[in-house]
Amino acid sequence: MTDNTNLVKGNTGLWEVVIGLEVHAQVSSKAKLFSGSATEFGADPNTQVNFLDAGMPGMLPVINGYCVDQAIKTGLGLNGILNLVSVFDRKNYFYADLPTGYQISQFTRPIVTGGYLDIDLEDEKTKRVNLTRIHIEQDAGKSTHDLHPSLSYIDLNRAGIALMEIVSEPEMRSSQEAMAYVKKLRSILRYLGSCDGNMEQGSLRADANISLRRPGEPLGTRAEIKNVNSVRFLGQAIEYEIQRQLEILEDGGEIIQETRLFDHIKGETRSMRSKEDAHDYRYFPDPDLKPLILTQERIEKIRTTMPELPDDKKSRFINDYGLSPYDASVLVAEQETAFYYEDVVKASTSTDKRQAAKLIANWLISEVFGAMNKQSVSISSLPFKKNDLATLVDLIIDGTISGKIAKDVFIKMWETGKSPKDLVKDLGLQQISDPSIIEKTIEQILNDYPDKVADYREGKVQLFGFFVGLVMKVLQGKANPGLVNEILKKKL
């Protein structure tokens, strides 16, 4: 529906899609933002709530320094400007799962201003999306309306957990770009360890702001789709919303600025409420909290703990190991996979490191990931040792076994956990690289098929494969293919 310039074709002409995302990322921290309550997911309702979280009068918030460090790390990882002074405000609204009647957030002075991330699109294209800001705020509790016919249930375990709200500029132009943005953001946050990125558990949620305009015109009125908790749903919600707005605008109608919800069962968005403006929230600085002051020293200390992030890792894999950009991006998407990959490369004893590294990448991406998917096994619980995978690849490189035999060895390795060397020995799979054995076999075959040999010599060169097949059959697939080709050519 969207063409490659990302414009949408309507009956009255072309439209440009404009998308800005607000992502709420739960900060990985054992304790909440302003209280010592635990944050673990899945605990029994209302077991991780203290007086402060429950909004009891007279309780005072105390900032959790670790959560602030996590936000600093995130700001650095997303290339933002860290503000040495930021301020906590009260955002006032009434809702049953917000016992204080206000959420502590940052409004006028967030901890991070600006920043950017490079999203990965098809055909190795990338696009830089700028960030407006990152601020710290509290999460609200959770209401459940479908457990009782006339009552709602409130669980305050989530109330007061630290969130980072990461706000993008309205720079995305298609659902694909928005999905790529969330994927990349999630990957970076996981690398940083500042948010676990588990969208199914609600620790990463996206609000999508969407509008349409004629190319070159000012921004149109947007609708906001709240709390989308999967990348796929985000794509579906945006596609639906583009169509909905397109129909209204093409009919000469107007988009109402409102908050909508995506119903993933019906595959549509529906209106939730008209959109509040900032003044509706009566923001004011929280009198219980002093401004948040960061020292340059604190920031620099955190900078020294920054991990290598996916883009840098990808370039390094391409440069150091000669990987294709595609293979490199598959391997760096999850930090754990990238670490695993490099451990195997290090364990290889092959003298040609680049050759080994490339082969290991192929093996991981096709054989290992394939088997992992089939067996629903994660990279942290593979049934064989990293060293054994390295050895398997080394055995291919030094010619002990062919790539084809290696696949059989791999299956056995997976099933038994035995080392590839033992398996090759036990199963007698060692490749035949003794030229005299191969030569004898070839001579025998050429004697058995004088007609075919004559045909070949008269120009029927496609018969070469026929002879190779016979040699392999006689030697049970174990002959060194390079040697078979070489000797066969000579003899023919």
Work out whether 211 is an interface residue with ligand ADP (CB under 6 A): yes
Q: Which amino acid is at 74?
A: T
Q: How far is CA 254 from CA 16, 223, 250, in A?
A: 16, 11, 10
In terms of DSSP bridges, do strands 258-263 and 223-228 run parallel, antiparallel, or are they unpaired?
A: parallel
* 263 phi-psi bin (left φ>0, alpha ψ -120 to 50, beta other): beta
DSSP state of 367: I
CB 39 within 8 Å of CB 27: no
For residue 266, what are the contacts with CB-CB under 8 A and spacing of at least 6? Answer: none
Interface residue with ligand ADP, options 10, 114, 170, 325 (CB under 6 A) = 170
Q: How many CB atoms lie within 10 A of CB 12?
A: 12
Residue 20 interacting partner from ligand ADP, Mg ion, none (CB closer than 5 to 8 Å by kind): ligand ADP
Q: How far is CA 125 from CA 116, 118, 120, 373, 479, in A?
A: 16, 10, 6, 27, 43
Binding mask 20-49 for Mg ion (x = CB under 5 A): --x---------------------------
Phi, psi of 467 (to 5 degrees): -65, -40
Candidates 109-117, 219-227, 288-296, 400-408 — which segment interacts with ligand ADP by CB under 6 A?
Answer: 219-227
Residue 250 interacting partner from ligand ADP, Mg ion, none (CB closer than 5 to 8 Å by kind): none
Candidates 15-23, 358-366, 390-398, 432-440 — which segment interacts with ligand ADP by CB under 6 A?
Answer: 15-23
Interface residue with ligand ADP, options 20, 75, 141, 197 (CB under 6 A) = 20
Work out whether 114 is an interface residue with ligand ADP (CB under 6 A): no
CB 103 within 8 Å of CB 140: yes
- Distance of closest approach, residue 89 Cβ to Mg ion, in angstroms: 16
- 24 vs 412 by CB, closer to ligand ADP: 24
Work out whether 299 is an interface residue with ligand ADP (CB under 6 A): no
Sign of CA dihedral 371, 374, 379, 382: negative
- 174 vs 337 by CB, closer to ligand ADP: 174
Work out whether 62 is an interface residue with ligand ADP (CB under 6 A): no
Candidates 116-124, 217-225, 389-397, 430-438 — which segment interacts with ligand ADP by CB under 6 A?
Answer: 217-225
- 170 vs 322 by CB, closer to ligand ADP: 170
First to last CA, the chain: 58
Work out whether 325 is an interface residue with ligand ADP (CB under 6 A): no
Which tokens hold the place of 138? 């509290």
Binding site for ligand ADP (CB under 6 A): 18-22, 167-170, 209-211, 219-220, 222, 224
Binding site for Mg ion (CB under 5 A): 22
